[in-house]
Structure 1
Amino acid sequence: MLYGIAAATSALFLAALLSALLGPLARRLGLVERGRRGLPVVGGVAVVVAVAVVAGAGEWTGVARLGGEVGRLLAGAVGVALLGFVADARRVGARVLGVGTAVAAVCVVPYAETGVPAGILAVGWIVFVALGFRALDHADGLAGTVGVVTAFGVGVCAAVEVMDGLAVLLSVLAAALTGFLMHNWHPARVGLGSGGALFTGFVLAAAAVLTRAGHGFGSSTAVLFAMTAVVAADVLLVTLARRRSGRLAHRLRRLGITPRGVTVLLGAGAFSGVLVGVLVHLGWVAGSRVLWVVGGTLVVVLLLLRAPIPSQVRGRLRVRNG
């Protein structure tokens, strides 16, 4: 218990410190977001280093052993993060990122417990969530906030399954993301970047798979969807809108909601889905309750697709773009 608190506190302060130090350096090196803002995209470096150092220290000292499965998960996540860091510095196609993430996921899924067919589906789902988090990193504080909420939820499931190493890793990730958010809340001074987003999505998705291994396929599918409903909604909205302006945060901003309001709103949505997933995992509610999450996700997506943009907002957009 005391170690968990100390580890989380260390990860929070280390990520916050590194985010502050690396931001100016990234600007000088040109490691900035492609676009008009020129936001340094090294927040992910801070998160990955903080998680790896704190979790690795627990393993090395023997105070908090991660275990073989969790160790492979962390190693795979770091590998995916490195690929993402390359994408931040140079143009790397989504296919390359997807294949690299899939290779790491193949090494993490516990096929002995899931079976090969379900394990293959789990690999695909891990890739979907990791790339989904990368896509979700399009608004200040959004990916970090959703990541913190999801990490707490999956961490509760891991603790219930007595997977102590995994629970510690998730608490450290949540703390590191919180430290990063100190510099990413609107107006952001540092961005998460592809490396940090892929790392976060990979750890969360793979950890959720490990906690649900051995449970029924139907209930596991329900829990995993509920845990990542916001990511699924964002991907679905972009797919239906067929353009980047269709993203959740972009649509909500165009309706006149403030940047901070968008993050809070979507963070609350993520919390609702995660809460349902945790309750289903605990067996406190039936798996059919996830249908409410599915229905709510579809309703939100359809409403945002059809929602008109108020005239005053259109005017501000013209001024901003003109």
Structure 2
Amino acid sequence: MLYAIVAAVTALLLAALLAALLRVPALRAGLVDRRRARPVPLLGGLAVVLAVALVTWGCDWTGIAPIGDGVGELLAAASAVAVLGLAADAWRLRTRFLLAGTAIAAACVVPYDETGVPAGLLAVGWIVWTAAAFKGLDHADGLAGTVGVVTAFGVGACATAEVMDGLAVLLSVLAAALTGFLMHNWHPARSALGACGSLYAGFVLASAAVSTRAGHGFASSVGVLFALTVVASADVVLVVVSRRLAGRPLSRGGPDHLAHRLRRLGLTPQGAVVLLGAGGFSGVLVAVLAHNGWAGDSAVVWVAGGTAVVVLGLLKVPVYGVRRQLRRPVSSQVRTQLRVRNG
């Protein structure tokens, strides 16, 4: 336990330090997110990836906290996804290439011997879905990191219950690294995850969750996995439905995510993140209770129902404004002059 705490603290400090050091190279290389009011460096995600890799492999190499079988393969596949995301940050790769690469990596880490091939293929799709969903959460300062920390603790608790100590160490290190990154990503952000960090975090969390649920019932696993990632999943559903109803292409961005709509309702950037983080914690808590048999399947149904209500309610918030030509008000003096000219 003490070693895990030391590893987590090390990851937190290392991620915070690397995120600070990588800001200047990112600005000089033009690796910035221009969707925000000002350009934000994108190499914060690389800082998280490096911190997790260095601390996890360091703990395994020294024997302080061995990661065990399977975790090494997961880290290698996640690192490949991070490299793909870094390429997307640098060269704006098409979304289909990101999804295809993530799917190949996911196919390499799913435990087919425990899930079976049909369920394993569905697990691959879910890992890709979650990774893409976390990429979408990176649109708001502090959101992806906050939801990632909450989810990592939840999946880590499930891994601990299954006596997957190596996986639990990895998730605690990831949670700590994301916390260190949040020191630079809280509003106003000085660094962002980018596709590199957001895809990496989503991939690790989803793959670890699949491993912890392998061998459990299919229906109950679907409910637990959804509850663990309720905020990210709700954001994707909201965006897809909203753009379809508005007749907009799915690939066309817009201020239509969860945080955007909450801001429209009057919340501050920090308030929106705190509210969504609380929602994510509620889902994670239900998932952990259901995973350990302390709550029935009805609890997960309530999470799904509450999520549907929230999505339907936020769909009514207008986000696609229509441009209107502004007319200057005509002064009384100008009106008088016009009347004189026209007789």
State the TM-score, normalizing by the size of structure 1.
0.95
Where 2:70 maps in the other structure, the secondary structure is helix
Partner of 2:150: 149
Contact 2:66-2:166 at 8 Å conserved across structures: yes
Q: Comparing both structures, which one devotes a greater share of its residues to helix?
A: 1
Partner of 2:263: 253
- Aligned-partner Cα distance in 2 for 1:270–1:228: 7
Partner of 1:3: 3
1:87 pairs with 2:97: no
Deviations 1:153-205 (A, max 9, x none): 00000011000000000000000000000000000000111000000000000
Partner of 2:337: none
Runs ≥4 residues deviating over 4 A: none
Contact 2:184-2:190 at 8 Å conserved across structures: yes
Residue 106 (structure 1) shift: 0.4
Partner of 2:18: 18
Where 1:256 maps in the other structure, the secondary structure is coil
Given residue 204 of structure 2, which amino acid in structure 1 is its aligned partner?
V
1:305 pairs with 2:315: yes
Given residue 72 of structure 2, which amino acid in structure 1 is its aligned partner?
G
Where 2:32 maps in the other structure, the secondary structure is coil
Contact 2:12-2:177 at 8 Å conserved across structures: yes
Given residue 274 of structure 1, which amino acid in structure 2 is its aligned partner?
V
Partner of 1:199: 200
1:112 pairs with 2:122: no
Residue 68 (structure 1) shift: 2.4
- Aligned-partner Cα distance in 1 for 2:291–2:137: 25
- Aligned-partner Cα distance in 2 for 1:29–1:307: 38
Given residue 87 of structure 1, which amino acid in structure 2 is its aligned partner?
A
- Aligned-partner Cα distance in 2 for 1:308–1:170: 38
Partner of 2:42: 41
Q: CA RMSD in A?
A: 1.5
- Aligned-partner Cα distance in 2 for 1:164–1:69: 12
Identity over aligned pairs, percent: 66
- Aligned-partner Cα distance in 1 for 2:38–2:283: 32
Deviations 1:102-133 (A, max 9, x none): 00000000000001000000000000000110
Number of residues of Structure 1 aligned to a counterpart in Structure 2 = 312
Partner of 1:173: 174
- Aligned-partner Cα distance in 1 for 2:187–2:242: 26
Given residue 204 of structure 1, which amino acid in structure 2 is its aligned partner?
L
- Aligned-partner Cα distance in 2 for 1:291–1:307: 25
Deviations 1:268-319 (A, max 9, x none): 000000000000001001022111111111111111111368xxxx9xxx99
Give matches, 1:144-293, under 5 Å. 144-242=145-243, 244-293=254-303
Where 1:68 maps in the other structure, the secondary structure is coil
State the TM-score, normalizing by the size of structure 2.
0.89
Where 2:146 maps in the other structure, the secondary structure is helix
- Aligned-partner Cα distance in 2 for 1:19–1:65: 26
Given residue 281 of structure 1, which amino acid in structure 2 is its aligned partner?
H
Contact 2:264-2:317 at 8 Å conserved across structures: no
Between structure 1 and structure 2, the one with the greater Rg is 2
Where 2:92 maps in the other structure, the secondary structure is coil
- Aligned-partner Cα distance in 2 for 1:202–1:212: 15
Residue 244 (structure 1) shift: 2.6
- Aligned-partner Cα distance in 2 for 1:244–1:254: 13
- Aligned-partner Cα distance in 1 for 2:318–2:93: 35
In the alignment, structure 2 segments of 5+ residues that lack a partner are 244-252, 327-343
- Aligned-partner Cα distance in 1 for 2:269–2:195: 21
- Aligned-partner Cα distance in 1 for 2:3–2:169: 9
In the alignment, structure 1 segments of 5+ residues that lack a partner are none
- Aligned-partner Cα distance in 1 for 2:6–2:13: 11
Contact 1:238-1:244 at 8 Å conserved across structures: no
Contact 1:132-1:231 at 8 Å conserved across structures: yes
Give matches, 1:28-107, under 5 Å. 28-35=28-35, 36-107=37-108
Given residue 293 of structure 2, which amino acid in structure 1 is its aligned partner?
G
Partner of 2:336: none
Given residue 205 of structure 2, which amino acid in structure 1 is its aligned partner?
L
Deviations 1:26-50 (A, max 9, x none): 1111111133521000110110000
- Aligned-partner Cα distance in 1 for 2:209–2:274: 24
Where 1:246 maps in the other structure, the secondary structure is coil
Stretch deviating more after TM superposition (17-26 or 147-156)? 17-26
